[in-house]
Structure 1
Amino acid sequence: MNSAQVDTYLHRLGVEHPAWPTVDVLRELHLRHLQTVPFENLSVHLGEEIVLEEKRLLDKVVGARRGGFCYELNGLFGALLGALGFDVTLLAARVYGDEGRLGIPYDHLALRVRTVDGGEWLADVGFGAHSHYPLAFGARGEQEDPGGTFRILEAGPDAAGVRGGHGGSEEADLDVVVNGRSQYRLEARPRVLGDFAAGAWWHSTSPGSHFTQSLVCSRVTEDGGRITLSGRTVKVTAADGTRDEEELTTDEEVLGVYRERFGIELDGVPTVRNPRGSGR
């Protein structure tokens, strides 16, 4: 990512070019990313190919002012942080589903970030509802955040009785927990963006993926709440947890919400391409 691309990306986030890669800068970038770049799966239903290459991601997220899901958002955010001088490691995770079962390998991408003023942080702008600020990677106690109460713990056995970690001198896997519920299991081994290509393909094509079964576009609001458009349903949750929900009736209303609340210009309303049970 060259300096002009970095500046354009920072302009997209509405922040100035930082002088140093400090934890305060990381916190600001993390929150602004969540507020300005939506978590969305529209490409899956618009027939757009998801390509995990930096230039293609820049064209989509920065040039076209779109969002994406974890591989795209965290992949590109990690590249930005690296260009700004942060020490960034891509990590693979498996998301906890029903009955505590873990998802596919390379189910999720998150970031381990080191700052110049010390400390390691778990940054994740691509999970949807998650922490608003980076989490202290080495802390094992509760971490309070506007998104909930988080903990990062050494992984125990999952629902299938498999314990995290690989033995030897390698670091153990970690469970990221929010409000007492396990969210995902994080591997410590460093990865590269290309490692996640199969996961991105599975999530964008498989009838077993929730991304192919529903539409979502969501971001953190300026007051610390969240707005989500799921198909034709708009949900606005305030920072205190109160929620308003509205069912949109016309295509014009739907396109207006995409445009006015998420900054996304679309020619037509996306619809779920392959709902479960319809065949492929």
Structure 2
Amino acid sequence: MRFTSDAVGMDVNAYLDRIGVARPGAADAEHLRELHRAHLEAVPFENLGIHLGEPISLDPDDLVDKVVRRRRGGFCYELNGAFALLLEALGYSVARVGARVFRTPDQLGPPFDHLALLVGTADHDGPWLADVGFGRHSTYPLLLGSRTGQDDPGGRFTLADAPDGDVDVFRDGDPQYRIEARPRALTDFAPTCWWQATSPESHFTRAPVCSRLDGDARISISGRTLIRTKGGAREETPLPSDDALRAAYREHFGITLDRLPGGA
């Protein structure tokens, strides 16, 4: 597989500090797993910028600035875009690939609907499907070439061959998305990213959401509700005031907001 690069100069130590991980001694699968989980726990999946009227930029410097310096999160193009830069700086080979999300079991979204990563390691046991930008998904990277079930804290994942060399990803038997095997440049995702961030038909423009992995659980804010999920249990806590909502963003996601996103 051919890998592309959008590498940018960055403070790798600052990025690693952001996710609470020491610099890996090797660009191998073991450290990839550690980096993947740490990113999911530290950097939230969130669309607050869309509802705050902030520009969504896929420029590599802007991605690093948002995730590392501003200590924010983002949606798939931003999170996997930034994570790819970190992995490349650490010596991993990374292919950015487009994916089409299953809207229903029989209906796929458009091309470039999602950005995922295929990662090559120094121990040559991959490539691995890495995805820190799909909300609820696998905690650890998935072995791209495996066609047997892969058990993960996030569920049982299965990869299956699809037409034209594509690969379908299933979680607990439900189709998630179809990966296009051809590597892409990050700029290829810019038109769909713009549509996702601006169109009234995009589910990202409908309501603000912020979510991250929290150990074996997931913690989220949807609108004005704090949600904790673990296993099959779900606990909802209303956030009735602006102060309560701001405090929840600070406490659970490290996000300090001068103003609240529209729709919250």
TM-score, normalised with respect to structure 2 = 0.95
What is the distance in 2 between the residues matched to 1:78 and 1:137? Answer: 17
1:246 to 226, 237, 245: 237
What is the distance in 2 between the residues matched to 1:98 and 1:117? Answer: 37
Partner of 2:62: 56
CA contact (8 A) 1:212 1:272 kept: no
Look up the SS of the partner of 2:122 in the other structure: coil
Structure 1 residue 199, shift from structure 2 partner: 1.0
| Percent of aligned positions that are identical | 53
Which structure 1 residue ranges, 4+ long, deviate > 6 Å from structure 2? Answer: none
Partner of 1:201: 194
> Are residue 91 (structure 1) and residue 97 (structure 2) matched?
yes
Structure 1 residue 22, shift from structure 2 partner: 0.7
Amino acid at match of 2:48: L
CA contact (8 A) 2:52 2:260 kept: no
* 1:88-147 residue CA offsets vs partner (Å, 9 max, x unmatched): 100000101035311121000000001111221000000000000000010001000000
Q: Counting strand residues as a fraction of each chain, which structure ranks higher?
A: 2
Q: Within 5 A, what are the aligned runs for 1:48-197?
A: 48-98=54-104, 100-119=106-125, 120-155=127-162, 164-165=163-164, 172-197=165-190
Q: What is the CA RMSD across the aligned residues, in angstroms? A: 1.1
- What stretches of structure 2 of length at least 5 have no aligned partner? 1-7
What is the distance in 2 between the residues matched to 1:256 and 1:104? Answer: 37
What is the distance in 2 between the residues matched to 1:80 and 1:100? Answer: 35
1:40 to 37, 40, 46: 46
Partner of 2:21: 15
What is the distance in 2 between the residues matched to 1:98 and 1:130? Answer: 17
Structure 1 residue 148, shift from structure 2 partner: 0.5
CA contact (8 A) 1:152 1:176 kept: yes
Amino acid at match of 1:122: L
CA contact (8 A) 1:231 1:271 kept: no
Aligned length: 256
What is the distance in 2 between the residues matched to 1:271 and 1:227? Answer: 21
- What stretches of structure 1 of length at least 5 have no aligned partner? 156-163, 166-171, 274-280
What is the distance in 1 between the residues matched to 2:198 and 2:227? Answer: 26
